[in-house]
Every structure is written in structure tokens, then in C-alpha cells.
Amino acid sequence: MIRNIPTVRFNVRDDNYKCLDISLDGSSKKIQTNDKSGELRLPVDWFNKSGAYSFTLTASDYAGNISNTKLNYYYNNDSVNAADYVPVNITAI
């Protein structure tokens, strides 16, 4: 079971708001919403291993104006435990 997937809460104040894109930096993965406020849980398949992840939120309006915000998140895959570890190349002396 994958846990610790972040949820992005947002509230856009622009009368000409068009959409909000959330993209995973360094990849082509992106989600989009036309809602002005709410929360989006990021897709589970964006997190394939423990480590630091960066996201860019881009709000755009119908006039073509954009506003960017960067978010950083550290994902810890806590589904791995000691029982999953299989030692290799063991030498007994």
C-alpha cells in the first residue's frame, strides 16, 4: 500500500482564470484542473521511489498571463521493511 502521497490545496483569485497545471519537474507528467479552489491528490505513479520531488504549479488566465509556484516534497516509501530485504553476496569466515 502506498501512503504519504501529497495533496495540493489551492485557491486562485483571478476573474479571468483559465486553469491550473501541476507538473512533476524533470518529467512530462502533468495534471490540470479548471477549478478555482480545492485540493488535488497527486497521482501515485509519480512516486516510484523514496526521495526528493519538485513540482511546479502554473496558473494561467484567458489573457495568457501565467503565475508559477514551486513546491518541494520528500517522499518516503515506508512500505519497504526488513522482511523485504534479501541479502546477497554473503561470505562466512
Q: Give 53 or 79, the one with higher predicted confidence.
A: 53
pTM, to two decimals: 0.74
What percentage of residues in the chain have a pLDDT greater than 70?
80
Domains and their CATH numbers in the chain: 7-77 (2.60.40.10)
Residue whose C-alpha is closest to residue 54's, from 3, 1, 2, 6: 6
CA-closest candidate to residue 43, choices 78, 58, 53? 53
The pLDDT, as a whole number, for residue 59 is 94
Distance of CA 3 to the CA centre of its chain: 13
Read off the pLDDT of each residue in 65-82 and give the average, rounded to a whole number: 82
The mean predicted confidence, pLDDT, of the chain is 85
- Cα distance between the two ends of the chain: 39
Extract the C-alpha cell encoding 48. 516510484
